Chains A and B, each alone.
Chain A
Protein backbone atom coordinates (compact mmCIF):
# COMPACT_ATOMS: atom_id res chain seq x y z
CA UNK A 1 0.00 0.00 0.00
CA UNK A 2 1.32 3.41 -0.92
CA UNK A 3 2.60 5.61 1.87
CA UNK A 4 1.30 8.78 0.19
CA UNK A 5 -1.74 9.40 2.41
CA UNK A 6 0.19 8.82 5.63
CA UNK A 7 3.00 11.05 4.37
CA UNK A 8 0.61 13.88 3.57
CA UNK A 9 -0.90 13.61 7.05
CA UNK A 10 2.60 13.69 8.52
CA UNK A 11 3.57 16.83 6.60
CA UNK A 12 0.34 18.54 7.68
CA UNK A 13 0.79 17.62 11.32
CA UNK A 14 4.42 18.67 11.39
CA UNK A 15 4.23 21.97 9.64
CA UNK A 16 0.64 22.99 10.16
CA UNK A 17 0.24 23.27 6.40
CA UNK A 18 -3.24 24.52 5.67
CA UNK A 19 -3.18 24.26 1.88
CA UNK A 20 -4.19 21.15 0.00
CA UNK A 21 -1.26 18.78 -0.29
CA UNK A 22 -1.29 16.28 -3.13
CA UNK A 23 1.35 13.97 -4.57
CA UNK A 24 2.23 16.76 -7.02
CA UNK A 25 2.91 19.33 -4.30
CA UNK A 26 6.50 20.57 -4.15
CA UNK A 27 7.93 20.23 -0.64
CA UNK A 28 10.01 23.38 -0.84
CA UNK A 29 8.15 25.62 -3.28
CA UNK A 30 4.53 24.83 -2.31
CA UNK A 31 4.74 23.68 1.29
CA UNK A 32 7.63 26.09 1.84
CA UNK A 33 9.89 23.76 3.80
CA UNK A 34 13.37 25.07 4.51
CA UNK A 35 16.34 22.71 4.34
CA UNK A 36 16.22 22.39 8.14
CA UNK A 37 12.51 21.52 8.02
CA UNK A 38 13.15 18.93 5.32
CA UNK A 39 15.63 17.26 7.69
CA UNK A 40 13.03 17.33 10.49
CA UNK A 41 10.50 15.79 8.11
CA UNK A 42 12.93 12.98 7.29
CA UNK A 43 13.45 12.29 11.01
CA UNK A 44 9.68 12.13 11.43
CA UNK A 45 9.34 9.87 8.38
CA UNK A 46 11.94 7.49 9.81
CA UNK A 47 10.14 7.27 13.13
CA UNK A 48 6.63 7.05 11.66
CA UNK A 49 7.41 4.30 9.16
CA UNK A 50 10.21 2.74 11.26
CA UNK A 51 12.68 2.87 8.40
CA UNK A 52 16.18 4.21 7.86
CA UNK A 53 16.10 6.94 5.24
CA UNK A 54 19.53 7.51 3.64
CA UNK A 55 19.96 11.24 3.10
CA UNK A 56 21.62 10.60 -0.28
CA UNK A 57 18.17 9.76 -1.61
CA UNK A 58 16.99 13.31 -0.91
CA UNK A 59 18.83 14.56 -3.99
CA UNK A 60 16.04 13.17 -6.15
CA UNK A 61 13.17 14.46 -4.04
CA UNK A 62 11.17 17.45 -5.18
CA UNK A 63 7.52 16.46 -4.89
CA UNK A 64 5.53 14.60 -2.24
CA UNK A 65 5.22 11.72 -4.70
CA UNK A 66 9.03 11.45 -4.98
CA UNK A 67 9.32 11.07 -1.22
CA UNK A 68 6.43 8.60 -1.06
CA UNK A 69 8.03 6.50 -3.79
CA UNK A 70 11.30 6.25 -1.83
CA UNK A 71 9.45 5.39 1.37
CA UNK A 72 7.55 2.62 -0.45
CA UNK A 73 10.83 1.26 -1.77
CA UNK A 74 12.44 1.30 1.67
CA UNK A 75 9.41 -0.41 3.22
CA UNK A 76 9.57 -3.08 0.54
CA UNK A 77 13.30 -3.64 1.13
CA UNK A 78 12.62 -4.02 4.82
CA UNK A 79 9.72 -6.48 4.41
Chain B
Protein backbone atom coordinates (compact mmCIF):
# COMPACT_ATOMS: atom_id res chain seq x y z
CA UNK B 1 0.00 0.00 0.00
CA UNK B 2 1.43 3.36 -1.02
CA UNK B 3 1.66 6.42 1.16
CA UNK B 4 -0.39 8.19 -1.50
CA UNK B 5 -3.26 5.70 -1.80
CA UNK B 6 -5.41 7.81 0.49
CA UNK B 7 -5.43 10.56 -2.12
CA UNK B 8 -7.24 8.45 -4.72
CA UNK B 9 -10.57 9.99 -3.75
CA UNK B 10 -9.08 13.46 -4.31
CA UNK B 11 -7.88 12.40 -7.73
CA UNK B 12 -11.33 11.08 -8.60
CA UNK B 13 -12.97 14.37 -7.57
CA UNK B 14 -10.41 16.34 -9.59
CA UNK B 15 -11.24 14.22 -12.67
CA UNK B 16 -14.99 14.79 -12.21
CA UNK B 17 -14.41 18.54 -11.86
CA UNK B 18 -12.12 18.79 -14.87
CA UNK B 19 -14.52 16.71 -16.99
CA UNK B 20 -17.59 18.72 -15.95
CA UNK B 21 -15.76 22.01 -16.43
CA UNK B 22 -14.60 21.18 -19.93
CA UNK B 23 -11.03 20.27 -18.93
CA UNK B 24 -10.37 23.45 -16.97
CA UNK B 25 -9.46 22.68 -13.36
CA UNK B 26 -11.66 25.09 -11.38
CA UNK B 27 -9.72 24.83 -8.13
CA UNK B 28 -6.31 26.46 -7.88
CA UNK B 29 -6.66 28.28 -11.20
CA UNK B 30 -4.02 30.95 -11.74
CA UNK B 31 -4.58 34.63 -12.41
CA UNK B 32 -1.92 35.39 -15.02
CA UNK B 33 -2.26 39.16 -15.14
CA UNK B 34 -4.07 41.73 -13.02
CA UNK B 35 -5.50 44.90 -14.55
CA UNK B 36 -7.28 46.19 -11.44
CA UNK B 37 -8.48 44.79 -8.09
CA UNK B 38 -11.38 43.13 -9.93
CA UNK B 39 -10.11 42.45 -13.45
CA UNK B 40 -7.45 40.02 -14.58
CA UNK B 41 -6.50 37.41 -17.12
CA UNK B 42 -7.40 33.78 -16.55
CA UNK B 43 -7.18 30.95 -19.08
CA UNK B 44 -5.92 33.48 -21.66
CA UNK B 45 -9.07 35.59 -21.34
CA UNK B 46 -9.84 38.95 -19.72
CA UNK B 47 -11.90 38.00 -16.70
CA UNK B 48 -14.02 39.88 -14.19
CA UNK B 49 -12.99 38.70 -10.75
CA UNK B 50 -15.88 38.08 -8.36
CA UNK B 51 -14.39 35.56 -6.00
CA UNK B 52 -11.40 37.27 -4.41
CA UNK B 53 -12.72 38.50 -1.00
CA UNK B 54 -11.20 41.88 -1.91
CA UNK B 55 -14.27 43.54 -0.42
CA UNK B 56 -13.14 47.15 -0.51
CA UNK B 57 -10.87 46.78 -3.54
CA UNK B 58 -7.86 48.32 -1.80
CA UNK B 59 -5.11 46.12 -3.24
CA UNK B 60 -3.90 48.79 -5.70
CA UNK B 61 -4.50 51.81 -3.47
CA UNK B 62 -1.55 54.18 -4.09
CA UNK B 63 -1.13 55.27 -0.45
CA UNK B 64 -1.07 51.65 0.72
CA UNK B 65 1.47 50.66 -1.92
CA UNK B 66 3.63 53.65 -0.97
CA UNK B 67 3.56 52.59 2.70
CA UNK B 68 4.57 49.04 1.77
CA UNK B 69 7.39 50.29 -0.47
CA UNK B 70 8.69 52.56 2.24
CA UNK B 71 8.80 49.64 4.69
CA UNK B 72 10.66 47.54 2.13
CA UNK B 73 13.22 50.30 1.68
CA UNK B 74 13.73 50.94 5.37
CA UNK B 75 13.13 47.57 7.03
CA UNK B 76 13.95 45.04 4.33
CA UNK B 77 12.06 42.10 2.89
CA UNK B 78 11.43 39.99 5.96
CA UNK B 79 11.89 39.75 9.71
CA UNK B 80 13.57 36.31 9.49
CA UNK B 81 12.51 35.48 13.04
CA UNK B 82 9.57 34.67 15.26
CA UNK B 83 8.04 37.32 17.49
CA UNK B 84 9.62 35.60 20.49
CA UNK B 85 13.11 35.89 19.03
CA UNK B 86 14.29 38.59 16.64
CA UNK B 87 11.03 39.06 14.68
CA UNK B 88 9.44 41.82 16.76
CA UNK B 89 9.96 45.19 15.09
CA UNK B 90 8.50 48.44 16.35
CA UNK B 91 6.03 48.35 13.46
CA UNK B 92 4.53 45.05 14.71
CA UNK B 93 3.88 46.64 18.09
CA UNK B 94 2.48 49.77 16.45
CA UNK B 95 -0.01 47.75 14.42
CA UNK B 96 -1.05 45.87 17.57
CA UNK B 97 -1.68 49.23 19.25
CA UNK B 98 -3.61 50.47 16.19
CA UNK B 99 -5.88 47.43 16.26
CA UNK B 100 -6.42 47.65 20.02
CA UNK B 101 -7.58 51.25 19.54
CA UNK B 102 -9.66 50.37 16.44
CA UNK B 103 -11.63 47.75 18.38
CA UNK B 104 -11.45 49.63 21.70
CA UNK B 105 -10.21 46.42 23.26
CA UNK B 106 -6.94 47.32 24.92
CA UNK B 107 -4.86 44.36 23.81
CA UNK B 108 -3.98 42.77 20.47
CA UNK B 109 -1.75 39.97 19.26
CA UNK B 110 -0.69 39.67 15.62
CA UNK B 111 -0.40 36.34 13.86
CA UNK B 112 1.21 35.66 10.51
CA UNK B 113 -2.04 34.47 8.87
CA UNK B 114 -5.73 34.46 9.70
CA UNK B 115 -5.69 30.66 9.86
CA UNK B 116 -2.96 30.84 12.48
CA UNK B 117 -4.91 33.43 14.45
CA UNK B 118 -7.76 30.97 15.00
CA UNK B 119 -5.41 28.05 15.47
CA UNK B 120 -3.15 29.94 17.85
CA UNK B 121 -5.90 31.53 19.92
CA UNK B 122 -8.42 28.72 20.25
CA UNK B 123 -5.89 25.94 20.82
CA UNK B 124 -4.24 28.03 23.54
CA UNK B 125 -7.32 29.39 25.28
CA UNK B 126 -8.85 25.94 25.74
CA UNK B 127 -7.23 22.61 26.55
CA UNK B 128 -8.31 19.10 27.50
CA UNK B 129 -9.87 20.33 30.75
CA UNK B 130 -11.98 23.00 29.02
CA UNK B 131 -15.17 23.12 26.97
CA UNK B 132 -15.41 24.49 23.45
CA UNK B 133 -18.62 25.09 21.48
CA UNK B 134 -18.49 25.80 17.75
CA UNK B 135 -21.04 26.49 15.02
CA UNK B 136 -21.63 23.51 12.71
CA UNK B 137 -20.61 25.64 9.68
CA UNK B 138 -17.35 26.85 11.21
CA UNK B 139 -14.30 27.52 9.05
CA UNK B 140 -11.69 24.77 8.78
CA UNK B 141 -9.26 26.78 10.92
CA UNK B 142 -11.75 26.58 13.81
CA UNK B 143 -12.24 22.83 13.42
CA UNK B 144 -8.47 22.34 13.22
CA UNK B 145 -7.95 24.50 16.30
CA UNK B 146 -10.59 22.48 18.16
CA UNK B 147 -8.78 19.27 17.33
CA UNK B 148 -5.41 20.72 18.31
CA UNK B 149 -6.77 22.01 21.64
CA UNK B 150 -8.04 18.63 22.82
CA UNK B 151 -10.91 20.50 24.51
CA UNK B 152 -14.25 18.85 25.15
CA UNK B 153 -15.93 19.81 21.87
CA UNK B 154 -19.61 20.44 21.19
CA UNK B 155 -21.14 21.56 17.91
CA UNK B 156 -24.35 23.56 17.78
CA UNK B 157 -26.67 23.94 14.79
CA UNK B 158 -25.64 26.65 12.37
CA UNK B 159 -26.43 30.18 13.54
CA UNK B 160 -28.95 28.87 16.05
CA UNK B 161 -28.75 30.67 19.44
CA UNK B 162 -31.51 28.45 20.90
CA UNK B 163 -29.52 25.34 20.04
CA UNK B 164 -26.43 26.85 21.68
CA UNK B 165 -28.52 27.69 24.77
CA UNK B 166 -29.74 24.09 24.96
CA UNK B 167 -26.16 22.80 24.89
CA UNK B 168 -24.93 25.30 27.48
CA UNK B 169 -27.83 24.39 29.75
CA UNK B 170 -26.85 20.70 29.56
CA UNK B 171 -23.29 21.63 30.54
CA UNK B 172 -24.44 23.08 33.87
CA UNK B 173 -21.69 24.92 35.80
CA UNK B 174 -19.13 24.00 33.11
CA UNK B 175 -20.84 26.52 30.82
CA UNK B 176 -19.42 29.40 32.87
CA UNK B 177 -15.93 29.00 31.43
CA UNK B 178 -16.81 27.53 28.03
CA UNK B 179 -15.43 29.17 24.89
CA UNK B 180 -18.06 29.83 22.20
CA UNK B 181 -16.75 30.45 18.68
CA UNK B 182 -18.79 32.40 16.11
CA UNK B 183 -18.12 34.07 12.77
CA UNK B 184 -19.29 37.56 11.77
CA UNK B 185 -20.16 36.68 8.18
CA UNK B 186 -20.08 32.97 7.38
CA UNK B 187 -17.67 32.49 4.53
CA UNK B 188 -19.67 30.08 2.39
CA UNK B 189 -23.34 31.12 2.58
CA UNK B 190 -22.67 34.75 3.49
CA UNK B 191 -25.12 34.90 6.39
CA UNK B 192 -24.46 37.14 9.40
CA UNK B 193 -24.23 35.63 12.89
CA UNK B 194 -27.31 36.39 15.01
CA UNK B 195 -24.89 38.08 17.33
CA UNK B 196 -27.31 39.96 19.60
CA UNK B 197 -29.15 36.73 20.37
CA UNK B 198 -25.89 34.85 20.95
CA UNK B 199 -24.83 37.58 23.37
CA UNK B 200 -28.13 37.12 25.22
CA UNK B 201 -27.40 33.39 25.51
CA UNK B 202 -23.97 34.19 26.91
CA UNK B 203 -25.53 36.55 29.45
CA UNK B 204 -27.88 33.79 30.58
CA UNK B 205 -25.51 30.82 30.75
CA UNK B 206 -22.01 32.30 30.88
CA UNK B 207 -19.01 31.51 28.72
CA UNK B 208 -16.69 33.59 26.58
CA UNK B 209 -17.38 34.57 22.97
CA UNK B 210 -14.65 34.51 20.34
CA UNK B 211 -15.92 36.16 17.15
CA UNK B 212 -14.05 35.62 13.89
CA UNK B 213 -14.62 38.75 11.81
CA UNK B 214 -12.56 37.56 8.83
CA UNK B 215 -15.26 38.38 6.28
CA UNK B 216 -16.88 41.26 8.20
CA UNK B 217 -13.83 43.44 8.94
CA UNK B 218 -14.11 46.51 6.72
CA UNK B 219 -17.56 45.40 5.58
CA UNK B 220 -19.73 46.09 8.64
CA UNK B 221 -19.71 48.63 11.47
CA UNK B 222 -19.50 52.44 11.43
CA UNK B 223 -15.73 52.34 10.90
CA UNK B 224 -15.55 48.85 9.46
CA UNK B 225 -14.78 47.12 12.78
CA UNK B 226 -17.14 44.30 11.88
CA UNK B 227 -20.39 42.73 13.02
CA UNK B 228 -19.91 43.30 16.76
CA UNK B 229 -19.62 47.05 16.21
CA UNK B 230 -22.52 47.04 13.72
CA UNK B 231 -24.75 45.30 16.28
CA UNK B 232 -23.53 47.45 19.18
CA UNK B 233 -22.29 44.48 21.22
CA UNK B 234 -18.52 44.98 21.03
CA UNK B 235 -18.20 45.14 24.83
CA UNK B 236 -19.78 41.69 25.13
CA UNK B 237 -17.35 40.04 22.76
CA UNK B 238 -14.34 38.66 24.61
CA UNK B 239 -12.05 37.95 21.69
CA UNK B 240 -12.18 39.48 18.19
CA UNK B 241 -10.21 37.46 15.65
CA UNK B 242 -9.67 38.39 12.03
CA UNK B 243 -7.48 38.48 9.00
CA UNK B 244 -5.75 41.09 6.88
CA UNK B 245 -6.18 38.98 3.75
CA UNK B 246 -9.62 40.24 2.75
CA UNK B 247 -10.67 43.88 3.22
CA UNK B 248 -7.13 44.94 4.15
CA UNK B 249 -5.72 43.37 0.99
CA UNK B 250 -2.58 41.69 2.38
CA UNK B 251 -1.99 38.79 4.75
CA UNK B 252 -1.90 38.27 8.50
CA UNK B 253 -4.18 37.71 11.46
CA UNK B 254 -4.94 39.17 14.87
CA UNK B 255 -6.83 38.75 18.08
CA UNK B 256 -8.00 41.70 20.17
CA UNK B 257 -9.42 41.43 23.67
CA UNK B 258 -10.19 43.50 26.76
CA UNK B 259 -8.49 40.82 28.89
CA UNK B 260 -4.92 41.84 29.88
CA UNK B 261 -4.21 38.10 30.10
CA UNK B 262 -4.14 38.11 26.29
CA UNK B 263 -0.50 39.07 26.66
CA UNK B 264 0.15 35.71 28.32
CA UNK B 265 -1.17 33.91 25.25
CA UNK B 266 1.94 35.07 23.42
CA UNK B 267 4.07 32.83 25.63
CA UNK B 268 1.81 29.83 25.26
CA UNK B 269 0.55 29.86 21.68
CA UNK B 270 2.64 27.58 19.50
CA UNK B 271 1.27 29.09 16.27
CA UNK B 272 2.56 32.46 17.53
CA UNK B 273 5.85 31.29 19.02
CA UNK B 274 6.99 29.05 16.20
CA UNK B 275 6.06 31.11 13.11
CA UNK B 276 8.18 33.83 11.60
CA UNK B 277 6.56 37.21 12.11
CA UNK B 278 4.93 39.09 9.23
CA UNK B 279 7.22 40.90 6.81
CA UNK B 280 7.49 44.63 7.63
CA UNK B 281 6.01 45.60 4.24
CA UNK B 282 2.96 43.46 5.01
CA UNK B 283 2.56 45.09 8.42
CA UNK B 284 2.91 48.54 6.85
CA UNK B 285 0.26 47.56 4.27
CA UNK B 286 -2.13 46.45 6.99
CA UNK B 287 -1.56 49.65 9.01
CA UNK B 288 -2.29 51.97 6.09
CA UNK B 289 -5.20 49.86 4.87
CA UNK B 290 -6.73 49.90 8.37
CA UNK B 291 -6.52 53.68 8.43
CA UNK B 292 -8.25 53.90 5.04
CA UNK B 293 -10.88 51.29 5.94
CA UNK B 294 -11.93 53.21 9.03
CA UNK B 295 -12.94 56.18 6.88
CA UNK B 296 -14.34 54.23 3.95
CA UNK B 297 -18.07 54.32 4.65
CA UNK B 298 -18.64 55.30 0.99
CA UNK B 299 -16.99 52.04 -0.12
CA UNK B 300 -19.06 50.04 2.39
CA UNK B 301 -22.26 51.67 1.12
CA UNK B 302 -21.36 50.85 -2.47
CA UNK B 303 -20.46 47.25 -1.57
CA UNK B 304 -23.79 46.65 0.19
CA UNK B 305 -25.72 48.31 -2.66
CA UNK B 306 -24.09 45.83 -5.07
CA UNK B 307 -24.84 42.95 -2.68
CA UNK B 308 -28.54 43.81 -2.33
CA UNK B 309 -28.94 44.22 -6.07
CA UNK B 310 -27.20 40.99 -7.08
CA UNK B 311 -28.90 38.95 -4.34
CA UNK B 312 -32.32 40.12 -5.58
CA UNK B 313 -31.45 39.37 -9.22
CA UNK B 314 -30.16 35.87 -8.42
CA UNK B 315 -33.31 35.09 -6.45
CA UNK B 316 -35.48 36.39 -9.30
CA UNK B 317 -33.63 34.08 -11.70
CA UNK B 318 -34.79 31.16 -9.57
CA UNK B 319 -31.46 30.23 -8.02
CA UNK B 320 -31.29 28.83 -4.52
CA UNK B 321 -29.25 31.42 -2.65
CA UNK B 322 -27.94 31.95 0.89
CA UNK B 323 -30.22 33.19 3.69
CA UNK B 324 -29.55 36.92 3.23
CA UNK B 325 -27.86 39.51 1.03
CA UNK B 326 -24.22 40.11 1.86
CA UNK B 327 -20.95 40.64 -0.03
CA UNK B 328 -20.65 36.83 -0.03
CA UNK B 329 -23.35 35.50 -2.34
CA UNK B 330 -23.68 31.75 -2.75
CA UNK B 331 -25.74 29.93 -5.35
CA UNK B 332 -26.49 26.38 -4.21
CA UNK B 333 -26.20 23.73 -6.91
CA UNK B 334 -27.66 20.23 -6.93
CA UNK B 335 -24.39 18.38 -7.48
CA UNK B 336 -20.66 18.87 -7.86
CA UNK B 337 -20.93 18.10 -11.59
CA UNK B 338 -23.70 20.66 -12.10
CA UNK B 339 -21.73 23.26 -10.14
CA UNK B 340 -18.57 22.62 -12.18
CA UNK B 341 -20.46 22.86 -15.48
CA UNK B 342 -22.12 26.11 -14.40
CA UNK B 343 -18.77 27.47 -13.22
CA UNK B 344 -17.27 26.77 -16.64
CA UNK B 345 -20.17 28.55 -18.32
CA UNK B 346 -19.51 31.63 -16.19
CA UNK B 347 -15.81 31.45 -17.09
CA UNK B 348 -16.76 31.40 -20.77
CA UNK B 349 -18.63 34.67 -20.15
CA UNK B 350 -15.45 36.10 -18.63
CA UNK B 351 -16.60 35.83 -15.01
CA UNK B 352 -14.63 34.16 -12.24
CA UNK B 353 -16.41 33.06 -9.06
CA UNK B 354 -15.35 30.36 -6.58
CA UNK B 355 -16.46 26.81 -7.16
CA UNK B 356 -16.70 25.32 -3.69
CA UNK B 357 -17.37 21.66 -3.03
CA UNK B 358 -17.36 19.41 0.05
CA UNK B 359 -15.57 19.27 2.44
CA UNK B 360 -15.08 23.05 2.14
CA UNK B 361 -18.86 23.58 2.17
CA UNK B 362 -21.46 22.99 4.88
CA UNK B 363 -22.89 19.47 4.65
CA UNK B 364 -22.89 18.12 1.13
CA UNK B 365 -23.53 21.38 -0.74
CA UNK B 366 -21.74 22.48 -3.90
CA UNK B 367 -21.67 26.21 -4.41
CA UNK B 368 -20.93 28.95 -6.87
CA UNK B 369 -19.59 31.50 -4.41
CA UNK B 370 -19.41 35.09 -5.52
CA UNK B 371 -17.67 37.71 -3.38
CA UNK B 372 -18.32 41.31 -4.32
CA UNK B 373 -16.05 44.34 -4.12
CA UNK B 374 -16.52 48.07 -3.81
CA UNK B 375 -14.15 48.20 -6.80
CA UNK B 376 -16.87 46.61 -8.94
CA UNK B 377 -18.76 49.19 -10.98
CA UNK B 378 -22.48 49.06 -11.75
CA UNK B 379 -21.48 47.86 -15.21
CA UNK B 380 -19.52 44.99 -13.63
CA UNK B 381 -22.62 43.97 -11.67
CA UNK B 382 -24.60 44.04 -14.96
CA UNK B 383 -21.96 41.70 -16.40
CA UNK B 384 -22.23 39.33 -13.43
CA UNK B 385 -26.03 39.28 -13.74
CA UNK B 386 -25.84 38.60 -17.50
CA UNK B 387 -23.41 35.71 -16.96
CA UNK B 388 -25.62 34.07 -14.30
CA UNK B 389 -28.60 34.45 -16.66
CA UNK B 390 -26.91 32.11 -19.15
CA UNK B 391 -26.61 29.51 -16.36
CA UNK B 392 -30.25 30.05 -15.33
CA UNK B 393 -31.46 29.58 -18.90
CA UNK B 394 -29.70 26.21 -19.19
CA UNK B 395 -31.17 24.77 -16.00
Q: Nearest Cβ distance between residue A2 and chain B, in whole angstroms?
A: 21
Partner of A52, one of B136, B151, B157, B170: B170
Best-buried of A46, A52, A54, A56 by chain B (most CB within 10 Å): A52
In the assembled complex, which residues on chain B have CB atoms less than 8 Å from the CB atom of A6? none
Contact status B152-A51, CB under 8 Å:
no
Chain B, Cβ-Cβ closest to A54:
B152
Contact status B170-A50, CB under 8 Å:
yes
The verdict on A1 contacting chain B, using a C-beta distance below 8 Å, is no
In the assembled complex, which residues on chain A have CB atoms less than 8 Å from the CB atom of B167? 46, 52
The verdict on B154 contacting chain A, using a C-beta distance below 8 Å, is yes
Partner of B136, one of A39, A47, A51, A56: A39
Contact status A39-B155, CB under 8 Å:
yes
In the assembled complex, which residues on chain B have CB atoms less than 8 Å from the CB atom of A79? none
Contact status A52-B364, CB under 8 Å:
no
Contact status B152-A36, CB under 8 Å:
no
In the assembled complex, which residues on chain A have CB atoms less than 8 Å from the CB atom of B364? 34, 36
In the assembled complex, which residues on chain B have CB atoms less than 8 Å from the CB atom of A54? 152-154
Chain A, Cβ-Cβ closest to B153:
A55
Counting residue pairs across A and B whose Cβ atoms lie within 8 Å, the total is 28
Contact status B152-A56, CB under 8 Å:
yes
| Total number of B residues with any Cβ neighbor in A under 8 Å | 14
Contact status A52-B154, CB under 8 Å:
yes
The verdict on A24 contacting chain B, using a C-beta distance below 8 Å, is no
Best-buried of B150, B152, B171 by chain A (most CB within 10 Å): B152
Partner of A51, one of B150, B153, B155, B170: B170
The verdict on B363 contacting chain A, using a C-beta distance below 8 Å, is yes
The verdict on A69 contacting chain B, using a C-beta distance below 8 Å, is no
Q: Nearest Cβ distance between residue A44 and chain B, in whole angstroms?
A: 11
In the assembled complex, which residues on chain A have CB atoms less than 8 Å from the CB atom of B150? 56
Q: Nearest Cβ distance between residue B12 and chain A, in whole angstroms?
A: 16
Contact with A along B146-189 (1 / 0, CB 8 A): 00001111110100000000110011000000000000000000
In the assembled complex, which residues on chain B have CB atoms less than 8 Å from the CB atom of A43? 155, 157
Contact status B171-A52, CB under 8 Å:
yes
Known contacts A36-B363, A36-B364, A39-B136; A55 and B170 CB within 8 A of each other:
no
In the assembled complex, which residues on chain B have CB atoms less than 8 Å from the CB atom of A56? 150-153
Contact with A along B116-154 (1 / 0, CB 8 A): 000000000000000000001000000000000011111
User: What is the CA–CA distance of A34 and B363 in the complex, to the nearest angstrom?
Assistant: 10
User: What is the CA–CA distance of A52 and B170 in the complex, to the nearest angstrom?
Assistant: 6
Best-buried of B151, B155, B167, B364 by chain A (most CB within 10 Å): B155
In the assembled complex, which residues on chain A have CB atoms less than 8 Å from the CB atom of B154? 52-55
Chain B, Cβ-Cβ closest to A51:
B170
Chain B, Cβ-Cβ closest to A35:
B359
Chain B, Cβ-Cβ closest to A36:
B363
User: What is the CA–CA distance of A39 and B151 in the complex, to the nearest angstrom?
Assistant: 18
User: What is the CA–CA distance of A34 and B9 in the complex, to the nearest angstrom?
Assistant: 14
User: What is the CA–CA distance of A49 and B136 in the complex, to the nearest angstrom?
Assistant: 20
User: What is the CA–CA distance of A43 and B167 in the complex, to the nearest angstrom?
Assistant: 10
Chain B, Cβ-Cβ closest to A40:
B363
User: What is the CA–CA distance of A43 and B150 in the complex, to the nearest angstrom?
Assistant: 20
Chain B, Cβ-Cβ closest to A34:
B364
Q: Nearest Cβ distance between residue A1 and chain B, in whole angstroms?
A: 20
With A36-B363, A36-B364 known, 5 other A-B pairs at CB within 8 A are A39-B136, A42-B155, A47-B166, A54-B153, A55-B155
8 tightest Cβ-Cβ pairs between the two chains A and B: A52-B170, A54-B152, A55-B153, A36-B363, A56-B153, A54-B153, A52-B154, A52-B171
- A: residues with CB less than 8 A from B are 34, 36, 39, 42-43, 46-47, 50-56
- B: residues with CB less than 8 A from A are 136, 150-155, 157, 166-167, 170-171, 363-364
28 pairs of residues in contact across A and B, judged by CB atoms under 8 Å: A34-B364, A36-B363, A36-B364, A39-B136, A39-B155, A42-B155, A43-B155, A43-B157, A46-B167, A46-B170, A47-B166, A50-B170, A51-B170, A52-B154, A52-B167, A52-B170, A52-B171, A53-B154, A54-B152, A54-B153, A54-B154, A55-B153, A55-B154, A55-B155, A56-B150, A56-B151, A56-B152, A56-B153
